[in-house]
Chain A
Amino acid sequence: MIEGLMGGFGNLLDPFNLLILLAGILLGFIGGGIPGISGTMLVIILLPVSYSMEPTAAFLLLTSIYATSVFSGSISAILFRTPGTPEAVATVFDGYPMAQKGEGGKALGVSIFSSATGGVLGTIVLIFLTPLLATFALSFAAPEYFALALMGLTVVASLSAGNLVKGFIGVAFGLFIATIGLDSMTGTPRFTFGSGQMMSGIDFIPVLIGLFAISEVLRQVQKKPRKTSNQKVRTELPSWGLMKRISNVIGRSSLLGIFIGILPGIGATTAAMLSYSEAARWSKKPEEFGTGIPEGVAAPESANNAAAMGAMVPLLSLGIPGSATTAILLGAFILHGIQPGPLMFQTQGSLVYTILMGLLVANLLILVIAKPFISVFSKILRVPYSIIGPLIVLFCIIGTFAVRNSIFDVGVMLLFGVIGYFLENAKFPLAPIVLGVVLGPIAEDQFRRAMQMFNNDFTIFFTRPISLVLLLLALISVVYPLFKKWINHRKAKLRGDKNTIAS
């Protein structure tokens, strides 16, 4: 294997391949940084272009674009509350508050460091553990997927900043939005009001962009006109102390991200969301998540890059895509006459190793290229909000429109912009809603599939070991905050009684 890797690295040094790799990295940076252009989109668009190239060059281009775009989506998530790519969904939650506190440069630095680390870890795992991990993930069936989704949803308890009722309403609402449209299992229309548009359901991107970006613009427009940011955003790579502080989160999130990426059908976006949930769950101060802490940026950013690499595992080892983008890469392989799968290491060994090394280099280069790239990007912040504001709105509109070529989606985005605005004014947390919309389809589909597979036997979730463990974790995370609250309430009461006796 080492010879293979060395051979792969040697291939990389070929001038044309190197050029293509760098071009891919740059394109990924730019595309991911602009809201409305995502990594998946770029891969699709460049697919025909790559057809005329040698397979090595073609795949270096496509995979490096994907790897770096997963990182650069966080740039505008942090600076403008608009994720540049879907994978940066969860980075908005803590990234933007950090920017508002004047810590934008810090947030960007954390994102760079976490993304690079997550990506490199993911690639290393990809290289060494491909066969092992693939087998484990294949033992995941519907009950486990449902339990996983449920576990992700229950962390809403920690994300709700103390108001559990509002948080759960948000989750229920988000899950409900995900049901609108044609039911995927039976084809029955649900809540479509006879409209053809509604039958294709409500996509999570308009909801997300509306709830966070549009509502923010609606708020900003009412304020005094001023520069977008009174502070210069200078990206600060994390100090040694900060690195140590977030290293636990990064390690955990990367592993989680890799694993989720490997699971067929769940990709980097869900991984980012779930690892944000998990980081909040495992932290000593979950209520700080959402207020702007580095951990809140480190978790999703390391997870999404790790998951992007993890998604390549089933692709390369089994020929099954681990995410939407890898599904397109599968198409690319077939276009070039290559059949991904167990035999690929034998028949196309050199290509595979070159791709793997290329990914490693791409993820490492994030550390190097990000800072200068962002300082160019952040010159934008000097421009007054009266110009930036409309541009942000324009990008939101284009980004929403481009997802499904649908003006309806733009309308959905507006509606949720207004909804998000009022909900935030009434101190409703928005993150649970997004959680519900993103995880809703998985949760419901897998639940019903599990029921069908096991003859409506509810106990199946508890008799299968993995599922049981996940569900117990889910239960604990809902009960624990309630329990803590009750204990604190009792303590306060006891203290109050003592005081009155003393006086």
Chain B
Amino acid sequence: MALDSPAPIREESTVKPEIGVFLCKCGKNIGGSVDVDSLARAIEDLPSVKHIQVNTYTCSEPGQAEIETAIAEHKLEKIVIAACSPRLHSPTWQELLRRSQLNPAMVEVANIREQCSWVHLHAHKEGTQKALELVRMAVARAELLQPVAELKVPVTQRALVVGGGVAGIQAALDLADDGYETVLVEKSPTIGGIMALIDKTFPTMDCSICILGPKMADAGKHKNIKLIANAEVSSISGYVGNFEVNIRQKARYVDETLCTACNDCVEVCPVDVVDEWSGNLGWRKAIYIPYPQSVPASYIIDEKNCLGLSPLACGKCIDACDKKAIIYEDRDRDYTYKVGAVIVAVGFKPFDAGRIPEYGYNRFDNVLTTLEFERLINAAGPTQGELVRPSDFKAPERVAFVNCVGSRDVRFNPYCSNFCCMESIKNALLIKEHWPDVAVTIFYIDIRAFGKGFEELYRRSREEGIRYVRGRPSRILQDPRSNNIKVMVEDTRSDTVLADEYDMVVLSVGADGPEALPLPLARTPEGFYIEAHPKLKPVDSPSDGVFIAGGAEAPKDIRETVTQASAAAGRAAGLLLRREVQIEPLFAVVDTESCNACGICATRCPYQAISAGKDKKTPARVNPALCKGCGTCAADCPQDSIIMTNFTDTMILRQIDVALQDNPAEKVLIFACNWCSYAGADLAGTSRIQYPTNTRIVRTMCSGRVDPDFVKHAYNQGAGAVMLTGCRPQDCHYISGNDFALKREKKIRRWMLKNGIADERFLIAWMSAAEGKKFADTVGRMSKIARQVKKAAERAA
């Protein structure tokens, strides 16, 4: 079901008397410092107000019942509640409206408690005046409120898992066991990922493929899992509950259903190819199976190296195959599925050690990576598990491991890759267990053995005599005659430069981020997928309905991967079982008539919710299911063509007008974002931290919503000072709203300079919801500045 953007909202110019204003005393919380009764009298002249009522406890049952009665009796269309913070009781008022058969968007709250009575406990006169203005601001806003359709969309009862490593396998099995049809897509000819290629796992030293193999088989056989291997997602579109995915499966040239893995074809194939599945240390044929435990258990023809895929070129394998499973005419296939939830489990990419030329990888045969080492000592590997070195197949007597290869390095990946320390320790122990006379050294900077059983394994490795040298090798050299490897390193424990020789050196490589998918998901600069919240939503992506798990999110070991995979599957199942999902009615709408297709809006959106036609002719379109309503696009739209549902430019400008109607010169106008700074202001209130009364707060969902025009308008209306506040950098609830807000500062200050407005009259301040004191202090400082401006203006007059 395609969601069309609702028709753009046209502002209404006539004011109808349809608003009911309910002023709450909240016992003594408000009534104690604000004269609520006088408020009721003072707003009698407002033309849009039809009914005014003062309550003592508005949110209580009788309080609410009074409102419902008033709505019915006076045929009110909209209500203004002057009481506590909208962050506290908004859902209550929305429910109330629904009960009264009114659209839940038809309520405006004036925050006269946390942001007035509680912070101006002793300034009764000014506090009451401020409360009056806050109520007037709310009324002005309420006049422009528009009803919003509450969108409910169905959830397709199918899930997609992209990536068939252990993360994808686990997630798919969980979902399939829950009863959901799951499509599992894997790029390689077999599922299993990196875990299938390593020899043993830490800290238990389990055989990796032995524990993964049964899961792979289950995934291949499960009645609810549709496994599409040797395939990639070519495109994905849609929104939560309603994704459409296109998958392209490359030709295998072997019929999976007929192949019995008998190996006859391999025996006659004349082409030898370096085997990427054995760490490039062995050979395979052009027709091959990646490893014995592959799922699907079918061979595949490597068409790049095959002599020609036709009987004229060769045809030996076709002749050899009893089952007639080999099909030269096989072609790529496309599949399309509709799914309700997507799990991205594409894993990380091992760091390419060739990017560090001073380590000699690619140049020196006897320098390997840990992954290659894993294949080398694996019983199914190129030497059947014999430890020999590549240059001469001799058994090495001295082996060294180098940690942090490509990680903790500003030239490559600045982060720590999580598993490399344990990987080295595990491999070192493996050598010691099977070949106790081999001298093993590990070069490290710090040993990170943080998981369960890790420190114990580290200790065991020291007991077994593995030598740990604290130093990061600067360079690795090869003796041209013996092919022995020399490692230049400083042993920082003894301040000695070592230039010792080894027979073989293994580089413990870290992780690079995954390659890009045709999925518009936010990623770090290195390519890892970003989670919706690093602490509280670690497996959700910022886009609803898409979840992430495993190495694709950040480098991690198998246990953490499986944990995340099950978590993601749980989240996805939760979505599917609800069968329908509500789209929050807060989104942007493009006025296609005034839109000039410049495409700026699309660049502001971290949710990829806006499609701007690349031809510069098609007006932009917002997908309301992806849009979160931050308003950053609207603020930067040069044509002002984007309308934020119930946070329109007109509403905000009217609020500013009302706020600055009286004595603007001594007022501080503060833009605050719903999630952080507004909440911080509320916290100041709850904590009863006092600050001056000449402060008026205008709430937006995000600091990114604040158009420079709003700031200019405030100064034009005579504001003494203006503040733009929001979440701390890196913490924006909408990911990048505050970044874009900050980028506008230069423009604003240039305008101020041109119009003779002193620089200190504008301040951008970032604060979290926990920083009530900081809010009060900052606002207090600006309040002083505003009062000075008023004094100066008076003196000039």
Q: Does B bind A? A: no
